[in-house]
Amino acid sequence: MKIVFGLYEPDPGSAECGVYLNGRKSKIRNPQDAMNLGIGMVQQHFALVENLTALDNIILGQEPMKRFNVIDRAFAKNKLQGLVSESLKVPLEANVEDLQVGVHQRVELLKLLYRDSEILILDEPTAVLTPQEIDDLFSFLRDLRKEGKTVLIITHKLDELLALCDDVTVLRQGSVKAQLSRDQLTKEALVKAMTGRSIEKFIKPTFQPGAEALVIQNLTTSAGTEERLKEVCLSVRQGETVGIAGVEGNGQSTLVECLLGLTSYIGHIQFNGQPYPHKTKEIREVLNVGYVSEDRQTQSLWLSGTLEENCAIGFGNRLARYGVLSKSTLHHHAEEMLKGFDVKYDHLEQKISELSGGNQQKLVVARELKGRDPRFLLCCHPTRGVDVGAIELIHQRLVEFQKNQGAVLLISSELEELLSLSDRLLVMYQGRIVLEQTRENFDLKSIGSAMLGGQP
């Protein structure tokens, strides 16, 4: 898709291959070419300038002009008002940083409409949205379809495909595995095409949780921190998974930072009846807390390092002899650790950056679970942006860990994941826990509205 949008250039191939538009072969060398052809794309990571207004973000690159290089904002506003239906209302004068993620998405969509795009490409558009916002988005996309626009949506969520799409093309490892039209579209067929085998619906067995492991009482952070926590109380038992749902930016990262000793706080945290340490070194090395970070590329891995080296991160003291890490120790350690985690690699001295996201993530989970063997795992977005096969494996390993009386605090933006793994689910909104439900009482509707700050 990035080729279609002109961000990447395709490798030169034979004369017939290339991008065809309405039957004509089109040369797209950069995003400008694509936009001129009526192709627009919303990327998975929004391309917005945070401290500009929504309006400025929309017109950026195609500003209507008056004399002296002055932007005709009134004209742009008029044009947008003509385009915007009720379902796509955006406060145009507000700064983007003050708007919610769901609104960011609408700003991105407006960018495309403002440019009169006929083909709209959306890359994982629902990754950051709440269920209600997803519904809004889909009804809007259906409206667009009625108006004759072409919508191309990239997703790994099967329900979305079933709900929205006329045609589905399944890609796996760079080649087309299946093309399904509306009447052939079933969940089973899709899963089979995506994984090459069928995956049974994953139902988590229930375990009997043990004593309380992690207890957090009245956790509050000072005003200086960006996402403040306000009197957060929660507990995780041994052999229990507690999920935290919420729109990103409602205090989840601050909670993680507190538990890693990266932010100071008021309140009490206990682990197995003992006070929880404040220093990161003690938390990770003495208490041995496992941590799967929300962004594997910047926080969990050393991207220019090899697999072996990445497997050894955090275990330097344990693996070194007289301060020296020997090649064979690293090799042996990595080999041992990756067993059972199905990480696909050529050799262990390969650069980690050559691995797919799913394989990188499996390595991280292997390191934090098998390499570390913790009693408590702080697990953030464990399956963000990874394929179905990797999700299955990671979920299995998390459940195994819980079965062995491990405690898991799971933070995720994937509601489906939270619902299938959590024994209890908490919803965070503006730094507070606003809702708690146990597995048997999960109610998607009240969870969704609590995420947006409504009454459960």
Partner 1 sequence: MGIMDTQLSSVTEWLASGVRMAIPLLFAAYGGLLTERSGIANIALEAYLLMSSYTAAAVMAITHNLYLAISAGMLAAVLTAGIFGFLTVKVKADQIVAGMAVNILVMGILPVTSNALFSVSGQTPTLSLNERIEQTWPFVAIGILLIFVTHWMFAKTRLGLRIWAAGENPDALAAQGVLPKSVRWKAVLLGGLVTSIGGIYLSIGAGSGYTRNMSAGRGYIALAALIFGKWKPIPTAIGCLLFGLADALQMILQSVSIFADGSPLPTQFVQMIPYVLTILVLAGFVGKVSAPKSLNTP
- Closest contact distance (angstroms) between CB of 300 and partner 1 is 22
With a CB cutoff of 8 Å and minimum separation 6, the contacts of 105 are 42, 46, 125, 128, 129, 133, 137
Considering the complex, state which of residue 63 and residue 136 has its C-beta at the smaller distance from partner 1.
Answer: 63
- Closest contact distance (angstroms) between CB of 42 and partner 1 is 9
- Which pair of tokens denotes residue 308? 């072996």
Considering the complex, state which of residue 223 and residue 324 has its C-beta at the smaller distance from partner 1.
Answer: 223
Residues near partner 1 (CB under 8 A): 7, 30-32, 35, 41, 43, 47-52, 56-57, 60-63, 65, 68-71, 111
- Closest contact distance (angstroms) between CB of 112 and partner 1 is 11
- Closest contact distance (angstroms) between CB of 35 and partner 1 is 5
Single-letter residue type at 289: V
- Closest contact distance (angstroms) between CB of 69 and partner 1 is 4
C-alpha angle 363-368-374 in degrees, rounded to nearest 5: 155
Considering the complex, state which of residue 56 and residue 257 has its C-beta at the smaller distance from partner 1.
Answer: 56
Beta bridge partners of 304: none
Considering the complex, state which of residue 122 and residue 394 has its C-beta at the smaller distance from partner 1.
Answer: 122
Considering the complex, state which of residue 52 and residue 215 has its C-beta at the smaller distance from partner 1.
Answer: 52
Given phi > 0 = left and psi -120 to 50 = alpha, else beta, which region is 260?
alpha
- Which pair of tokens denotes residue 246? 């919420």
- Closest contact distance (angstroms) between CB of 53 and partner 1 is 10
Q: How far apart are CA 7 and CA 353, in angstroms?
A: 20
Considering the complex, state which of residue 56 and residue 417 has its C-beta at the smaller distance from partner 1.
Answer: 56
**What single DSSP character describes residue 183?**
G
Q: How far apart are CA 282 and CA 274, in angstroms?
A: 13
- Closest contact distance (angstroms) between CB of 109 and partner 1 is 14
With a CB cutoff of 8 Å and minimum separation 6, the contacts of 83 are 110, 113, 114
Dihedral angle over CA of 25, 31, 37, 42, nearest 10: 110
Considering the complex, state which of residue 39 and residue 390 has its C-beta at the smaller distance from partner 1.
Answer: 39
Q: How far apart are CA 354 and CA 210, in angstroms?
A: 41
